[in-house]
Every structure is written in C-alpha cells, then in structure tokens.
Chain A
Amino acid sequence: MSATTLFTAGRAGRRRLATRQRLGLGLLGLLLAIAWLTPWLHDADPARQQLVRILELPSLVAPLGTDHLGRDLLARTAAALRLSLGMALLSVISAAVPGILLGVIAGWRGGWVDRVLGSLADACLALPGLLLVLLLVAIAPGNFWALYVGIALVLWIEYFRVVRARTRVLVASPQLQASRLLGFGPGYLFRRHLWPELAPQVLTLAAFGAASAILAMAALGFVSVGLRPPTAELGLMMTELLPYYHEAPWAMAQPILALCLLVLSLNLLAGKDPR
C-alpha cells in the first residue's frame, strides 16, 4: 500500500506530481474554469425555456446549442458541472473527516472500540452502496441533502479501513513509543508521525471518492430518482435528451462528455488504485 501515493516525495523533499497526475490536474482546472467562468461570460439562465428555439445547433447566441425545451445548453452544462463538483467536494469532506477520525481512534485504542467501529463499517458495507443511497432518497425524494448524506455514508468506510490499518501498525512502532516516552501528547503524535504517513493515501482516496460520488449522483439522476427537473444535473440531462438522440446528437453528447472528462480528470489525479 505504501507504493501508491498521490504525491511522491522528491529528493529535495518537495512534492512532485507524476505526468498523469499533472494531466489530471490540468483537465480538472479546465472543467472548473468552464463551470465557474461561464455565468460571467455568457449571460443565460439554465432554466429559462424558449420553445421557439428548440434543439438549435451551436451559434453565437447559444455557443453549445439549445435543448428540447429551448434552454441554453452551455449554461446548463456549466450549472451541472458546478453542482457535481460542489457535491463531490461536500461528500468527500463529510466522508473523509469521520473516516479518518474514527480510523485513528479504532487503530489507536484497539480492543472493544476497534471491534464496535469495525462492525459498524461492516454493517454499512453489507448493503450495496447505491441501494443505501436509493433508500435515503426514497425517504426524502428529490432532496439534495438526502443524496449527499447517503453518498457520504457509503464512502466513509474506505477512509476508515485504510486509516485504521496504517494507524495500528504505527501505534505499535518504536517511533511512536519513543516520542511517547519523550513526553509528547496525542496531538503531536498525530501531526508528526501519523499524518505524514496517512496523507498520501487519504488524498488518493479522496480523488477516487470524488469521482465515485459524481458517478453515483449521475446514475441516480439517469434513473430519475435523484434531483428533480428543472435542475441542471448531468444524469438528468442525459435522460431528458435521450429521446432526441437522432435529431440532436450534439446535445446529448454534452453531459456525457462532461461526465467522462470530470471522472477521468479525478482518476488521473488519484494515481494508482490504493486497493
């Protein structure tokens, strides 16, 4: 597991990125720019319908064309990207923070604490991830928060497992014992001993986690149990545009391409699979 790191420490101690990771970072930067700069440069409401201009080809007025309800596709794709990225960030943070915290506690304390937390993680794993999200969405239909809590609930286990395994090894190691004998407290031990070992793996997991959160949301949107129209969301846009595939293939290609690139950039950034 130590061979898979998001950042490779350079000889001079600086953190260097591999070529593929740089590529991923560049692609992600580009998508971020499209998502957040579009509202400034292109003044169009993603929800405004103009039924006289449906399925138009790209033009100066609508650079990426319009959809079946005459809504501006550039504005919609950008809005969907913003939603996906915001969602990914939110679910990664809310999965990583409890995952790391509980992982460190379980690995450090061992004993019954470890067993209880381990069983909890196993219980969450017993249900397929998407099913758990579906369950929550069924309880609160069309709610952004239900979706996000569900995805976080599925994703925290990975962080928990990785962090717990590494912490267990480190807690038993001479370096931690030496620092403890020298009178250092838990905060110091975490900062100087645990975090430098955990960070590369956690960051790799975070990049993968962001990609799977985005995919999960799009998948739910595609089967129409995620967010409700007229929200611009990648999966929802694909479902809406599917019937017009023959008339306007360029329209349907846009959410698909956006999703592909987004997931690709995050996977490139993550480096190798840590599992």
Chain B
Amino acid sequence: MSDSLLEVSALTIRGEGVTIAPVDFSLARGGRLTLLGETGSGKSLIAQAIMGTLPKGLSARGELTIEGDGFAAAEGAARRALWGRRLALLPQEPWHALDPTMRAGAQVAESHRYLRGLGRRRAREAALHDLAGLGLAGAEARLPGELSGGMAQRVAFAAASAGGAPIVIADEPTKGLDAPRRDAVVKLLAGTPERGGALLTITHDIEVARRLGGEVIVLRQGRVVERGPAEQLLSAPRSDYTRQLLDAEPARWPAPPPPPATAEEPVVEARGLAKWRGGRELFCDLDLSLRPGEIVGVVGPSGCGKSTLGDLLLGLAERDCGEIWRAPGQRLAFQKLYQDPPAAFSPHWTLARLLEDLVRRHRLDRDAIAPLMARLGLDPALLARRPGEISGGELQRFAILRVLLMEPRFLFADEPTSRLDPITQRDTLALLVELARERHCAVMLVSHDPALIERVCDQRLVLGGEEAERVPEDLAALAV
C-alpha cells in the first residue's frame, strides 16, 4: 500500500451533541476527495480529527494511516509533528490565518526555514520563488491587510505548502470568494494531486466539487448520505438529499415569474451617481430607479463598490457626485439586510427582548409579529434564545422579520445568503422575494453569483466589470 497517502478507517467523532458516524476513505497519490455538505454536517470536524485539532469536549476514534504509518485518531497530539511536513491545512478565511503584522514574504519564508530547515537567505529565495509562481511577484513586502482576499488566499497556500507536505486539506477554501477567484483557487488546489500529492477538500459549494473531480462524499448531520465519483454523483444522484442539494444551486432554480407591471412612482432614484475610494473610481454616471415591489440585482467582483452603492441609497455614505431622490417622509422605510447575520445583532440579549425594544420604540402592533413569524417559518420558542444560539438561516429570517415590521419601502440586501447553505439560501431568498412583492417593497439584492441574480431579479446591474482583479491565467502550471 505504498501508493496510499492517507487512509482513514472507521473514524467516529463524539461529544457535546455531535456524532459523526464511522467514515472510511483512502487517498492515493494524485487522489482527490471532496466532502460536501451543509453547515453543521460535521465536515470540518473530520478535517480537524485528521489534523488532531478537535475542539475540547469532542473525541475521535478510529485508525489513520498517513504515508504508511498508523495513528490512533484519539491521540491528536501525536500528529503535531506531521504538520507542514506531511499534512498541510489550508484554513478557512485565510486573512485570519495570516499574521497581520508580518509581511507576506516573511510568512512563507518562515515555513521554509523552520519546516525544511533552510538557511535564512535560502528560505527567503524559496519564498520569493513560491510567491512569483503564484502570480504574487512584488507582493512579498506587503502586509496581509494590504492584500486582497484572493491574494491572501494564495499567500496562505504558499505558507501552508512550503513544507512540502504531500497531503493537503482545504477547509472551505472558497468561502466568500466570487466566481473568478473561486475558480482560481480550485486551479491552485488541483495542482497538488497533479504533482503526486493528495487533496482533501471540504466545501458546501457544488461547483467546487464538480471542478475538482475525483471522489465525492456527501454528508448530512454527521452521516454519509452518498459517495461516488464526482461526475456520476453530481449528474445522477441516487439519494433524495443529494438531489435536493443539487437542485438548490442557483443555476437550477425555477425561472422567475415575470415582474409585475407597475406604474407607481419610484421609491428611490439616482442620477449621474459617482463615488471614488482611495483615489479609484468605483462607478460614475450611474442612473437607476427602483419601483415598489421591484427586485434589482447587483453583481460585480469583490471591492467594486456594491455595498457602497447600497449605503449611498440608504444615506449611510456620502456621494461624490450626482443626485439621489428618495420617497419623502419615511426615513425608517429604508432598511438593510447584512451579509453576516450574527454581526447585525447585539449578541447579549434574547431575540424577544430585541423585538420588544423595536415594538416599544415605534409603537408597533404586537399582533403583527406572530403571523409574520409563522410565515417566515420561525418557531416562537426561538425568541427565548440569543442571536448566537440559533442558526445563520434562522437569524437571517429574524433580520427579515425585524425590517419587515418597519414596513420598508426600500430594502438593501447585501449578500444576505452568501454565508448560508445552498438549500437554506434558496428558501430564504424565495421568502424574501415573495414578501417584498406582497408588501410593495423595492429590493436591491447584492450577490457575487450571477446565476442567482438572474433567477431572482427583475433587473440586473453590473458594476466594475472591466476592473476586476486579474488572476494569472494558468495557476496550476505556474505553481509547480
């Protein structure tokens, strides 16, 4: 079995309300495996169990074979010596994994120096070579805060793989990245098996699984629902759950109903709008108008000013040029939904308390809450919990409830579902659209997924198309 790099047999994880049923898989040289599943399906725990970094209160059982050496999954500390040399982990949200006070080149050189034992100068040269290979030549002197998300991802990859580990584990490597950057990361990851390593990817993005190929394991609530080769499983799923998961991809959503004909006055209108940031023009001469019940989608690469446009319309940011006209008299009818639901609530109070505050502040009708909660599929028992104690999807629906109580005329939804699972995303967006139409509320929906915008929105607005960050053409070829 010299061909097998990583073999996992009967791996189970137990503790505090989590159970992962026995999982078996093996990765040969050049092998690629994708664990696919929604949040809470336990896919990240499997990666942590392999690395030996399970959180306190959880324990693993089973056998691991790494390059022919056997390990008991329960003894996590024993695998510490393998980190970087034989096992490499590419963490979620790499800008959090990089040291914010250390320059990019030094972070990569550090791995070369301490893992491969190179001298100071040789390590520095190796780091520069790595970075240049990833299309980051000239970025070695920058701090992580000065790098874009995609660049930070590549620096983290360089630092993680500098030790030459043949087994690479990528935990949600494409979370929060837009489509072109996601594809670049996938290419980067695909380079590992091409060089004779093994790649284990954890994701909830079906497109990533499809592009990586290899074997796919679908997980749900800690159980393996289905497994098989990617092409077969993703084109002809056998289990209901996999089918649901695939149907939740925006590209497969039903076509939107034709927009309702409306001749009403626009809720918000902008003429010749322009905004600069950091000496760069985000957009200029932008005209738009939103009528009640209309859904307008905004797409564009990260950093192109999508959120800024919404803040301008809400009056939260100052415009540099142009005119904005809002329907008079209703400042509170302009509301916003946030990308990260927990960040939009104070974590210290129960939801009941927060809703009560709102009702008292504006003398709202208490009786309106219960039917709306039922409509949004929210259990009244959730009211006794705090924002951090319910799921992201539920909390986002609470956020929708909160803004709907204000009887909004214009709602700016800033990637409201980008952190949710595909199935939750579809249901949440469908509800949002339905309620907005019913209540004659104009919605401006931001997303980095063009397919989603196409399925949901009446109009589409593309920002910063030509200024998208350039990603090297063929990273896989360069990364060797």
Q: Do A and B come from one complex?
A: yes
Binding site for B on A (CB under 8 A): 13, 173-175, 177-179, 181-184, 188, 192-193, 196-197
- Point out the residue from B345, B361, B399 that lies within 8 Å of A183, measured CB to CB: B361
Q: What CA separation (Å) do A196 and B348 show in the bound complex?
A: 7
Contact indicator B362/A192 (Cβ below 8 Å): no
Contact indicator A177/B348 (Cβ below 8 Å): no
User: Smallest CB-CB separation from B353: which chain A residue?
Assistant: A192
User: Smallest CB-CB separation from A11: which chain B residue?
Assistant: B389
Contact indicator B334/A182 (Cβ below 8 Å): no
B441 to chain A, nearest CB (A): 14
Q: What CA separation (Å) do A44 and B386 show in the bound complex?
A: 56
Binding site for A on B (CB under 8 A): 314, 316, 331-332, 334-336, 338, 340, 343-346, 348-349, 354, 357-358, 361-362, 386, 399, 402-403, 406
Contact indicator A173/B357 (Cβ below 8 Å): no
Contact indicator A175/B344 (Cβ below 8 Å): yes
Q: What CA separation (Å) do A13 and B352 show in the bound complex?
A: 15
Contact indicator B346/A181 (Cβ below 8 Å): no
Contact indicator A173/B335 (Cβ below 8 Å): no
Give the 4 A-B residue pairs with the shortest CB-CB distance, closest first: A196-B348, A178-B344, A174-B338, A174-B344
Contact indicator A174/B343 (Cβ below 8 Å): yes
Q: What CA separation (Å) do A197 and B347 show in the bound complex?
A: 9
B281 to chain A, nearest CB (A): 24
Q: Which residues of B contact A192 (CB under 8 A)?
A: 346, 348-349, 354, 357
- Point out the residue from B332, B343, B357 that lies within 8 Å of A188, measured CB to CB: B357
15 CB < 8 A contacts A-B:
A173-B343, A174-B343, A175-B345, A175-B346, A178-B338, A181-B336, A182-B332, A182-B335, A182-B358, A183-B406, A188-B361, A192-B348, A192-B349, A192-B357, A196-B346
Q: What CA separation (Å) do A181 and B335 show in the bound complex?
A: 6
Q: Which residues of A contact B406 (CB under 8 A)?
A: 182-183
Contact indicator A175/B343 (Cβ below 8 Å): yes
Contact indicator A183/B362 (Cβ below 8 Å): yes
Q: What CA separation (Å) do A179 and B348 show in the bound complex?
A: 14
B365 to chain A, nearest CB (A): 16
Q: What CA separation (Å) do A184 and B336 show in the bound complex?
A: 15
Q: Which residues of A contact B362 (CB under 8 A)?
A: 183
Contact indicator B345/A181 (Cβ below 8 Å): no
B221 to chain A, nearest CB (A): 23
B355 to chain A, nearest CB (A): 11
A169 to chain B, nearest CB (A): 12
- Point out the residue from B334, B361, B386 that lies within 8 Å of A181, measured CB to CB: B334
User: Smallest CB-CB separation from B342: which chain A residue?
Assistant: A175
